[in-house]
Amino acid sequence: MVSPWLSNRPTPDGHVWPALTRGPAAALETLVRQIEEIQWLSPFEIEALQFSQLPIVAAWCAEHSPLFARHLGDAGLTPQELTSPAALRRLPLLVRRHLQIGGNSETYCSKMPEGHEPVVEVRSSGSTGEPACAKRTRVNQLFWMAHTMREYLWHGDDFANRVAVVRASVTDYSEIANWGAPAAALFRTGPSALLPLRADVKQRSSVPMRCWSIQASSMP
């Protein structure tokens, strides 16, 4: 089986082989390939890498998130001590109220590290109560795209195929010429159809699905 990295690649400036990836797509490809290597590490190695990063993230959050700083203080911890599962278990849990619109003023960091902006908000519908709000940074979005690509590659998806995608962010059925991000950033793909998550069975069954594979995604 030919590796997908050796076929169906965009060809900027006529570079068919080796394929050249430029701009933001180059960062995405680097991360995808790094995650591909990380999966073969032992659980001990992965945990050690996670706990090398966590104190760095915790130090930033302790400085810029009042809620996280308070949780650290309540647990009698410093960011540098978050290097084991036992230390993590001492932290108070983040609960839904901390993410709801009326109670999240101290939850999120007031400032982002350089290179992480812009920040976008994702909100729940509030159909079962007060809406909850999560925030995503540019780097967070990059990791989402990289893990989505890992899912495609793990399943052995053929990027030349047509695909139908069910997403919460879609309001009306539409078709586009490629799969969109992240796949279209790294590969030449077939067309895609976008279906709203809330479409009923009758609406979905009326879509011409011949030769379409199906994907469901909770992210935009």
43-81, pLDDT tens digit by residue?
Answer: 999 999 999 999 999 999 999 999 999 999 999 999 999
pLDDT at 66: 93
pLDDT tens, residue order, the chain (220 aa): 556 655 666 655 666 666 667 678 888 999 999 998 998 999 999 999 999 999 999 999 999 999 999 999 999 999 999 999 999 999 999 888 888 766 677 888 889 988 888 888 877 766 666 777 888 899 999 999 999 999 888 888 888 888 887 777 777 888 889 998 899 888 888 998 888 877 666 666 666 554 445 554 444 4
pLDDT at 6: 57
- CA 115 to chain centroid: 17
pLDDT at 8: 63
pLDDT at 5: 57
Q: What tokens does 15 get? A: 């570079």
Gap between the Cα atoms of 128 and 126, Å rounded: 5
pLDDT at 173: 80
pLDDT at 144: 92
pLDDT at 9: 62
Note the pLDDT tens digit of each residue in 79-103.
Answer: 999 999 999 999 999 888 888 766 6
Q: Which of 2, 32, 29 is nearest to 158 (CA)?
A: 2
pLDDT at 128: 64
Q: Give strand ranges (E) for the chain.
A: 120-123, 133-136, 162-167, 174-176, 192-196, 212-217
Q: How is residue 60 annotated by DSSP?
A: H
pLDDT at 71: 94
Please state the pTM of the whole predicted model.
0.78
Gap between the Cα atoms of 174 and 177, Å rounded: 10
pLDDT at 211: 44
